[in-house]
Structure 1
Amino acid sequence: MTEAPTPEEAAARAAAIAAGLDPADPAAILAALIRCPSVTPREGGALALIEALLARQGFDVARPVFEEAGTEPVENLFASIGEAGPHLVFAGHTDVVPPGTLGDWTSDPFAGEIVAGEMVGRGAVDMKGGIAAFLAAYARHARRNGPPPGRLSFLVTGDEEGPAVNGTVKLLDWAKARGERFDGCLVGEPTNPSVLGEMVKIGRRGSLSGEVRVAGTQGHVAYPHLADNPVRAAVQIAESLLATPLDEGTGTFQPSNLEITAIETGNASVNVIGARCSIFFNVRFNDRWTIDTLKAELAARIAAGAAAGHLRPGRPAAGYELLWRERPSAAFSTGGDAAGGGGALTGALTAAIHQMTGRRPELSTSGGTSDARFIKDHCPVIEFGLVGKTMHMSNERVALSDLEGLTEIYEAFIARWFAAHA
C-alpha cells in the first residue's frame, strides 16, 4: 500500500503529474487520483492534483481547511471559472473509505491498474471516477465551444466518507459568505444499480438515529425479586417502535422504514441481570415527515412501550432516556418539473443521458444519504454518476467504457444546462 505523502510532497507531485496529463482524458485523470491515498480525512494529494489541473485551465482555485473541536481538520476545494450568468456547480468528494484487508485485493488498491478493461482501485466508483469524468467533460466542452456562457464551479470535499462535519456543509457556507450563488448542482455520486444511464437521484430520504436507555437494577438471576431486568421493557419498547408501519410511501418516495440496529446490555454474564439496556435504531423516512414530527411520533411510541413494559409484574413502569444520535437529515426532492425548482436541471441531465445512451433514466429517491442533503438548502440538486456495484468493496472498479460514457453524458449536460439558461 502506498505511503501517505507530506503536504509539500503531495503538492509537488500533483503539479508534476498534472503537467503531464491531458485534462480531457478521464482514464488518465482517474488513475492519477486513485494513486493519491486520500483515506478520510487525509487529502493524500488528490485535491492538489485537481487544483493543478484546473489552474492550468484558468480556474480560480481556493483550498479552505475547516475544523472544530473533537474533529480532525479537513482540506476542501472550490474552483470557479466565468463571471456573470447562470452558475452551475459540480459537487463531489475525493476522500475514500479504507481499503480493508489488502489480501482481498488482486492489486494495490492505490495503483489504478487496468484489468480486463476495468480500472481497479479504491475510489474508482465512489467517487473519483465521477470527478475525473466531469473534469474531462469540462475540458472537452471548453475545447469545442469555449468556456460556458456563465459560471461553472467545482465544490469538492475530503469529508464525505467521514463525519461530514468539516466538508460540504462548511464549504457551502464559506462560498455563500464570499457571495457565491448557485443556480443548480450536479453531484457525481454513483447512482446506477447495473447499467450507466438507468437512474438519476432527484432526492433522498431523511435519516434519523436514536438510542433508548432503559434503566433497571442489577442482580442475580436466581433472585429476580431483588433486581429489575431492563431487557423486559426494552423488548416491549422495540416492539412498540416496529409494530405499526410509519406510512405507505408517497408518489416520490418509498415507505419510511425503521430498523432496530442493536440491543445492548454490556452484560456478558449469564447469571447476572444487567442494570441497563440500550436500544439503537435508525429511520430512513420520506417527505410525509419532518424531523420534528417524526421525533414526536417515535417518542410517543417509546413512551407507550415503556408504560406497557414493566420491569416485573406489580412494579412501576420502566424508566428510560431517549437520546437522538448523529446529525439528522430531512427528506427532500428536487423534482422533475419547474414546481420543484429543478426542472431545467433534471431535464438537461435526462436529455443528455438519452442522447448518449438511448435510455430514459428512472428518477429515484432511493438509497442512503449524500452531501446533496446539504446542497439542497442552497440550490436545486440532483445526482448522477457511475454504476455503484463495487463501491466500498475490495477490488472496487469501473469499466473504462462507462468512464468514457459518463464523460460524454456530462459534456452534453453542461451544454444543455447552459443552453436552457440562456
Structure 2
Amino acid sequence: MTGKAYNVNPSSDVLALAKALIERPSLTPDDGGCMDLIEPRLVAAGMAMESLDFGDVRNLLAVHGAGPPHVMLLGHTDVVPPGPLEEWTSPPFEPSVRDGMLYGRGAADMKGSVAALVVAVQRFLAERADHAGTLSLLLTSDEEGPAEHGVRAVVPVLKKRRLLPDACLVGEPSSRERLGDVMRIGRRGSIQARLIIRGVQGHTAYAHPADNPVHRAGPLLAELGQLCYEDGDDDFPPTKLQISNLRAGTGAENVTPGQLEIRFNIRNNPHSPADVLKDRVEAIIEAHDPGPWCLDWRVSGEPFGPARGALPMAVVEACREVLGHSPEADTGGGTSDGRFLGPAGVSVVELGPVNRTIHQVDECVSVADLKRLPAVYQAVMNRLLAD
C-alpha cells in the first residue's frame, strides 16, 4: 500500500460531497471519477490507499491502523441507468435540492451513503488517530451489475493477506420510513436459473400437441410457481421462487415454438442450501417429463447472517444516540456486496438512508438524514475502535 501526498484541505460537508458524486455519471462498471474525488480526502485523513482493480472495475481500499479488531466500511460508486430522461423532474446527474430532498441518480443508492462514510472517516480519524485496531474503507464500481470483478474478486485477496475484517458496516439504503428504522443483519441468497425445454417448430395447423414445449410445460410452470418452502424462522423469511421471464416462438401467429426458455430467481434461506434446492427443482422437472431440457443454475449470492455480537449492538446504540430510536433487525430485501463477506465469516450489518426511491425516476434522499448519517457511522466506529 502506498500513501500519496496531496495538497488538499478536504471539506467535511456531506451534502457537497454527495452532490459532487452524483454529478459523475458512474453507470456500472464505470466509476466516473468518483474514487478520484474521494481518494485525496482519505489520504489527507491519514489512510493508506491501494487500487485493487480487476478488468474494467475499480476497487479502492483505504486502511488506517493495524491489528484487531478490523472494522470495514463498504460502499459502491456505481449506479443503475436513469431510465427515460424526460420523466425526471431535473436531470439525473445534475443534483438538485427541492423541499428538503436531494434528487439525482444514486442519491439514496448509494452515493449519499458513500459521502457519509467518507465524512465519518474524516471526522473519526481527526479525533481518534490513535484508535485501537484497524479501520478500512472499501469502494467498488461493480455492485449494481454482474458483481464479478468488485468485492467478489477483492475478498480472496484480503483472505490471502489475512486482511478480512471482523466486522463490516455496509452503507446500503436499509431504512424503510425514517433514517435508522431498519438495519439488515443478513440476507437471503440469490440463485438465477434458466430452464430450456425443446420442442419442434412447425405450422400451427399440423403440429402435434407433444411438439409444443409451451403446452408441455404448463403443469411444470404451475408447480414451480406454487412451490412452498417452510424454512423461515425468527431471523429469515422463507425461501421463495419467482418466475421472472418466459420466452418462446418466432413472433409469427401460425408457427409453434421450437423451444421455451423459462427464467426464475430463488431467494434462499440459509436452511435451504443451493445444491439442495437444485436437486429439488430438477426432480420436479423430471417428474413432469416436459421433453428434452437443460438447466443453467447460477448462485449469485449465498445467504449470510444473522449478525450477532459487537457490530449489531454498536449500530443499535449509535442509532439510539444520534437518532433517538433503535433499528429493527431484518434480513429481507435484495442483495448487497455483504454477500461476499458474510459467508466468509465476517459479521455484516447494512445501515443507510430510506430506500423508498432507489432505482426509480426522481431518486432522492432527505438532506436532513444525509447530514445526520455521518454521525451515526462515526458513533459505530467509536464503539468498535475505542482506545
TM-score, L = length of structure 1: 0.86
Look up the equivalent residue of 1:298 and give its one-letter code.
V
- 1:115/1:370 CA distance change after superposition, 3 Å: same
Measure how far apart 1:240 and its partner are: 2.5
Conserved 8 A contact 1:206-1:330: yes
Look up the equivalent residue of 1:334 and give its one-letter code.
P
- 1:246/1:116 CA distance change after superposition, 3 Å: same
**1:358 and 2:324 are equivalent in the alignment:** yes
Structure possessing the higher radius of gyration over alpha carbons: 1
Conserved 8 A contact 1:91-1:156: yes
The equivalent position to 1:328 in structure 2, one of 289, 294, 300, is 300
- Helix, strand or coil: the match of 1:209? strand
Whole-Å Cα distance in 1 between the matches of residues 191 and 284 of structure 2? 15
Partner of 2:211: 228
Conserved 8 A contact 1:87-1:153: yes
Look up the equivalent residue of 1:329 and give its one-letter code.
G
- Helix, strand or coil: the match of 2:82? coil
Partner of 2:368: 401
Partner of 1:28: 16
Partner of 1:107: 90
**1:146 and 2:129 are equivalent in the alignment:** yes
Partner of 1:411: 378
**1:388 and 2:371 are equivalent in the alignment:** no
Whole-Å Cα distance in 1 between the matches of residues 257 and 90 of structure 2? 48
- 1:64/1:273 CA distance change after superposition, 3 Å: same
Provide the identity percentage: 39
Measure how far apart 1:358 and its partner are: 2.1
- 1:113/1:21 CA distance change after superposition, 3 Å: farther
Partner of 2:44: 56
Whole-Å Cα distance in 1 between the matches of residues 127 and 225 of structure 2? 57
- 1:276/1:282 CA distance change after superposition, 3 Å: same
- Helix, strand or coil: the match of 1:97? coil
Q: Following superposition of structure 1 onto structure 2, how do residues 201-240 of structure 1 map, counting pairs within 5 Å?
A: 201-225=184-208, 228-240=211-223
Whole-Å Cα distance in 2 between the matches of residues 146 and 66 of structure 1? 31
Conserved 8 A contact 2:155-2:164: no
Measure how far apart 1:275 and its partner are: 1.6
Conserved 8 A contact 1:241-1:302: no
Runs of 4+ in 1 over 4 A off after TM superposition: none
**1:285 and 2:252 are equivalent in the alignment:** no
Measure how far apart 1:385 and its partner are: 0.6
**1:368 and 2:334 are equivalent in the alignment:** yes
**Stretches of structure 2 lacking an aligned partner (at least 5 in a row):** 1-5
Partner of 1:177: 160
Partner of 1:119: 102
- Helix, strand or coil: the match of 1:224? coil
Measure how far apart 1:186 and its partner are: 0.4
Whole-Å Cα distance in 1 between the matches of residues 155 and 301 of structure 2? 16
Conserved 8 A contact 2:10-2:44: no
More moved, 154-163 vs 255-264: 255-264
Measure how far apart 1:143 and its partner are: 2.9
Partner of 2:3: none
- Helix, strand or coil: the match of 2:164? coil
| Cα-Cα RMSD | 1.9
- Helix, strand or coil: the match of 1:66? coil
- 1:137/1:259 CA distance change after superposition, 3 Å: same
- Helix, strand or coil: the match of 1:185? strand
Measure how far apart 1:391 and its partner are: 1.1
- Helix, strand or coil: the match of 1:74? coil
Conserved 8 A contact 1:240-1:305: no
- Helix, strand or coil: the match of 1:37? coil
**1:347 and 2:313 are equivalent in the alignment:** yes
- 1:225/1:169 CA distance change after superposition, 3 Å: closer
Look up the equivalent residue of 2:149 and give its one-letter code.
N
Look up the equivalent residue of 2:304 and give its one-letter code.
F
Measure how far apart 1:378 and its partner are: 5.0
Whole-Å Cα distance in 2 between the matches of residues 132 and 328 of structure 1? 27
**Deviation per CA, 1:276-319, whole angstroms, max 9, x where unpaired?**
1122111112122001111111111111122xx5xxxxxxxx22
Partner of 1:4: none
Q: Following superposition of structure 1 onto structure 2, how do residues 23-102 of structure 1 map, counting pairs within 5 Å?
A: 24-67=12-55, 73-102=56-85
